[in-house]
Amino acid sequence: MIQDTSTEFDAVVKICRELFIRKTKDYGTAWRILRLSSITDQIFIKAQRIRTLEEKKVSKVGEDISSEYIGIINYCIIAMIQMGLPDDAQTEIPAEEVEMLYDAVVKETKDLMAAKNHDYGEAWRDMRISSLTDLILMKLLRVKQIEDNLGQTLVSEGVRANYQDMLNYSVFALIKIGLAK
């Protein structure tokens, strides 16, 4: 079977998007109140839980690793949407506008994924899921440091690029788990 990363990416994101939109209809855009550092911490909690589940192989709350990766994807998208909105933007955003913002972030991130896959030869396909988790945790520590430095970097990529990488690593993990089937 020929693997098509673009199609698999779309299948995973479709699941994430449907959940995100349903939650938006339930809760509105309450996430608008979160500062970027709080979103980073939420992603950290999810990534740390994945690592714990990978090591202990037992969940006491019944949620699996897939749901945590979906959470990372959606929180990364929330972070990038927040970064694109002015600080004084309204807290409540209509669901239709949220859908457009979500899709724009996904398109930009998918385009980056396609470019990197071209250059790296889809090396992620030979990686372990646990390595993808570790890369996400490393990116989170980088983002926390950049946030602690008030967004200033000397030679490193910025926060947005790290969120994009975490989103893509999470999609790769979900593809490897079989969510794209």
Q: DSSP letters along 86-139, please?
A: -TTS-S---HHHHHHHHHHHHHHHHHHHHHHHHHHTTGGGGS-HHHHHHHHHHH
Backbone angles phi, psi at 159, to 5 degrees: -65, -45
Flag whether pLDDT at 152 surpasses 50. Answer: yes
Confidence of residue 1 (pLDDT cuts 50, 70, 90): very low
105 near 17, Cβ under 8 Å? no
Flag whether pLDDT at 136 surpasses 80. Answer: yes
Mean pLDDT of 123-134: 96
Whole-angstrom distance, CA of residue 158 vs CA of residue 152? 8
Specify the 3-state DSSP secondary structure of 58. Answer: coil
43 near 68, Cβ under 8 Å? no
Q: Helices (H) and strands (E) in the chain — how many of each?
A: 6, 0
Average pLDDT, the chain: 92
* pTM: predicted TM-score of the whole model, two decimal places: 0.94
Q: What is the pLDDT of residue 74?
A: 98
Q: What is the pLDDT of residue 61?
A: 65
Percent of the chain with pLDDT over 90: 79
Confidence of residue 2 (pLDDT cuts 50, 70, 90): very low
Q: What is the pLDDT of residue 64?
A: 87
Question: Could you tell me the two tokens for 37?
Answer: 């550092």
Mean pLDDT of 128-155: 92
Q: What is the pLDDT of residue 29?
A: 96
Whole-angstrom distance, CA of residue 41 vs CA of residue 123? 28
Mean pLDDT of 118-131: 93
Question: Long-range CB contacts (< 8 A, 24+ apart) of 15-24?
Answer: 15/70, 15/179, 16/70, 16/73, 16/74, 16/77, 17/99, 17/102, 17/103, 17/106, 19/70, 19/74, 20/74, 20/77, 20/102, 21/95, 21/98, 21/99, 21/102, 24/95, 24/98
Q: What Rg value do the Cα atoms of the chain yield, rounded?
A: 16
Tell me the pLDDT tens digit for each residue of 36-83: 999 999 999 999 999 999 998 766 666 689 999 999 999 999 999 999
Mean pLDDT of 106-123: 93
Cα 95 to its chain centre, rounded Å, is 20
Whole-angstrom distance, CA of residue 144 vs CA of residue 136? 12
